[in-house]
Each structure stands twice: as structure tokens, then as C-alpha cells.
A and B are shown apart, each in its own frame.
Chain A
């Protein structure tokens, strides 16, 4: 695959590390059912066949974490953005 890094341009996926579903959010540990929430966050995934937004780390390039929307059936990539909005809040 070629991942369109918003900083470096399209690069082979061998430059990246993958961390799966980008839609899960780390829960607030203060909430009542934090244990259940963390269980779901750490372990449960939709694992869809089709559109998927996922985390890729460009360790072989700009060392940015990216959110990539990719079709898991066709591997077609929609968008790739910086996970932290380019470090510019």
C-alpha cells in the first residue's frame, strides 16, 4: 500500500507502524464504570469490512501519528490527517 502522509507525501506502508481503530477513545478513568469502559477501549473493535479510520505512525518518515480512512475491502484510502492536527492546536 501507499499511504498519503500529509507531510511527506505518498509512502510505502513499510515506513509506517499500525495501531488499528482510531475511533476508540481513551476513557476518563474517573467515571463510574471505568473498568468496563477501559475493557471496551482496549479490547473491543468493530473490525468493519469497508470504511475504517485507523492509526498509522510514520516512524520511517516524519514520526507523526496519522488518522487514515481506508476501505478494508478494497484498501482504497480516503484521507490521511495528523492525529494531533499537526501539533498546532
Chain B
């Protein structure tokens, strides 16, 4: 093919403007769109869950979680999204799906999902106050801790929420095709507290 390498576009292309938005003053939360994280769905073969778990332990040094939790190491993480089902992610991991297929493909169905979702990292003192305007699950520190994962409906959009650390930092992923509507809800909800948008 004659052309130069293809230009990738983020789901928020043309929607998110870097800088401060909403109420003036110190930002209540910071929103970062991440386009450098690869994702792949991992579904255990019938009866192969344990074999898969040991393969994951061998290849990545990670104990595959049984419930809606995530484990990570060296930028690679596995988040439980259903019984026998995980979303693997890797920062700057290149073709994550291919390497997963190679290492654990014998025990699981693997599908690349790197392009399927809008990925946001949210942090800041008021992040929970903004999220409660659409997130139906309890994000109180007693109820949702670092490493917890939840798949739920937020403002009519299917969203996966991972709590990355106690700062707190939340990772929200939403279907790529709904990025615009999801962004409309998120920014409307955050405006009251003032928010900064950054891209990485």
C-alpha cells in the first residue's frame, strides 16, 4: 500500500478540549483520555478455567481473579467482568491479543478489544461527587476499593469501572460509538465542580 501509516483517531477526537472547564477555580476532578492501553477479552474454555489460571500465573505472574476485581503487574492487568470472563489490558503492550493468544490461547478464547472503547482516567477530590450523578453502584471507600471492578449502566451507557488507586483514580471505559453521548453526561456532571481535561 502506497500511503503512509494510517492515522489513528481517539473516540473523543474533536470532542474533548484540553484545559479547564466548568466552574472556575481549582478543578474538582481531572479527566484523562487514554489511548495507549490495549484491551482484549478473555473467555475460559469449558472446563479449562484452572488451566487458564495457571497459564496466566506462569506467563504474567498474576492470579486470575474470581470475582469483579483486577490484578495487574508490569502494566498488564486482568479484570473480572463475568464468571470465566476477563478483560485483559496492557499499557503500550503492542498487540496484546496476539501475545495472549500465544500464551493462553489453548485455554481461552481471546478477542482484541483495543479499539472498542473510550478509556478515561478520572481523579480529583470531587470525582465521586461527579460520578454519583450516573453511576448506580456504591463508590464509597467502604464499598468499592482499589482493585474493584464493576460493569454497569451509566446514563444508559454500558460502562466498566475499575478503581486503580486510593487517590482515588477510577478508570471508566465505555463503548466507542457512544463516546460522544457519554462525554456529554460526564462533562455536564463534572461542570459543577470544575474539571481539567488532559490527553495522554
Chain A contact residues, CB within 8 Å of chain B: 7-9, 11-12, 14-15, 59-64, 82, 86-89
Contact = CB atoms under 8 A, between A and B. Distances in A.
A55 B151 CA distance: 20
B2 interface: no
A15 B152 contact: yes
A61 B151 contact: yes
A5 to B, nearest CB: 10
Contact of A89 (B46, B68, B82): B46
A61 B68 CA distance: 10
B152 A87 contact: no
B47 A8 contact: no
Contacts, number: 51
B180 interface: no
A7 B136 contact: no
Most interface-central of A61, A63, A89 (chain B CB within 10 A): A61
A7 B151 CA distance: 10
B44 to A, nearest CB: 7
A60 B152 contact: yes
Contacts of A59: 158
Contacts of A60: 151-153, 158
Given A87-B46, A88-B49, A89-B46, A8 B151 contact: yes
A64 B82 CA distance: 7
B82 A88 contact: no
Interface string B166-190: 0000000000000000000000000
